[in-house]
Amino acid sequence: MKYISDYIVPIGPEGLYIVDTGKWRTRRPVMNESTCKKCGICFLYCPVFSVERRADKSYTINYDYCKGCGICANECRFGCIEMVPEEER
């Protein structure tokens, strides 16, 4: 008998289950770093933590898992983030 699993009981010890949510996007946030005031609001409120804080306290967007929700653009008080249509892949 060939088993699918080495385990006798339902456990998940083989690493993380990851959904490629970056592929969900229909629009992407684009940050204008020159006008960014580094307030950190976008960092605090991105639900997938796609806004990353650099060592020099500036912020950048990582597009790996960004779903394009637009919260960062909506919360930014200085208009530094714009939602643009996601390009064809």
C-alpha span between 82 and 30 (Å, rounded): 5
According to CB under 8 A, which one of 32, 35, 58, 74 is a site residue for another protein?
74
For 28, the 3-state DSSP assignment is: strand
Q: Which residues pair with 35 in a beta bridge?
A: none
Question: One symbol per residue from 22 to 61: x for binding another protein (CB under 8 A), - otherwise; what is it?
Answer: x-x---------------x--xxxxxxx--xx---x----
Q: How far apart are CA 49 and CA 28, in angstroms?
A: 15
Contact residues for another protein (CB under 8 A)?
3-5, 7-22, 24, 40, 43-49, 52-53, 57, 64-65, 67-71, 73-75, 83
